Amino acid sequence: MNLAEAIQSENMDEIIDSMNAYAISILKSVGVKDFNGKHPVDFVGDLLLKVMEGTRDWDKAECSFKEFLFGCLKSDIYSFLKTIKRHSSDELPEIPVNDDPINFEEKKNQIVELLKQEGANDDELIVFEYWMDGIFKPAIIAAELGVPVKDIYVIIKRLERKRKKIEQQAINMI
């Protein structure tokens, strides 16, 4: 499927909403107020133009158009955050080294405790455990638990609201 066909066959209105929600989620999590005057949706617009102009090469992709766009957006925003981190290293969380397994378990347990202190219920803790085990797709978690995927979406949104606070406390703690 070429680019013109891909863009016409997809519901771009919905894809842009999803990408914008994702961009908001990442940008909010780093706690920086100003992104060189850009709004999250501007990252989406810039990325789509790059794809249309061929700077990001859809023709060589081996996934769905939506997955391709999401992957590019993630990479663009993280690259952007690295550049602003160079200018304001105090504002963003440092990029730490990989953990050894014992360290990881210890830190994970501390985060679970923090989540509990923040009022996380059993459902949230179960989903968090799935994430820590490397199972990320909501549909798979829903299937494993035998619940509708919509329930998992609700739980994830609740976890996401606690994310900033948890990360901030964890940085101070560890």
Partner 1 sequence: MSNEIINKIGEALYHFYLEADKDTIKNSLKDDIQDTVEYEKKKKRIIFLANAAAKKKHNEYLLQLADKFEQALLSNIEKPIAILKQIIHGNASLALHRNLDKLSKEEIIEIIKDKNLVELLEQLDNNEKKH
170 in contact with partner 1 (CB under 8 A)? yes
Residue number, 7 or 125, with CB nearest to partner 1: 7
Minimum CB–partner distance for residue 87 and partner 1 (Å)? 21
SS3 121: coil
Contact call for residue 150 and partner 1 (CB under 8 A): yes
Q: What is the DSSP letter of 143?
A: H
Among 35, 84, 138, 158, binds partner 1 (CB under 8 A): 138
Structure tokens at 131: 């994430």
Choice between 85 and 107, CB closer to partner 1 = 107
Binding test (CB under 8 A) with partner 1, winner from 37, 79, 86, 139: 139
123 contacts: CB under 8 Å, gap ≥ 6: 151, 155
Q: Calculate the alpha carbon distances from 51 to 107, 127, 172 in Å.
A: 39, 34, 40
The reply on whether position 95 binds partner 1 by CB under 8 A is yes
Look up tokens 């602003």; give the residue: 84
Instruction: Return phi, psi of residue 33, to 5°.
Output: -80, -40
Are 63 and 72 in contact by the 8 Å Cβ rule? The answer is: no
Touching partner 1, residues 55-84 (CB under 8 A): 59, 66-67, 70, 74
| Cα(90)–Cα(78) distance, integer angstroms | 17
Cα 70 to chain centroid, rounded? 10
In sign, the C-alpha dihedral spanning 163, 44, 90, 131 is positive
Rule CB under 8 A: say whether 160 interacts with partner 1: yes
Q: Does 14 bind partner 1 (CB under 8 A)?
A: yes
Candidate segments 35-43, 82-90, 117-125, binder of partner 1 by CB under 8 A: 35-43
Residues lying near partner 1 in the complex (CB under 8 A) are found at 1-4, 6-8, 12-14, 16-22, 24-26, 28, 39, 41-42, 44-45, 48-49, 51-54, 59, 66-67, 70, 74, 93, 95-99, 103-104, 107-108, 111, 131-132, 134, 136-139, 149-150, 153, 156-157, 160, 163, 167, 170-171, 174
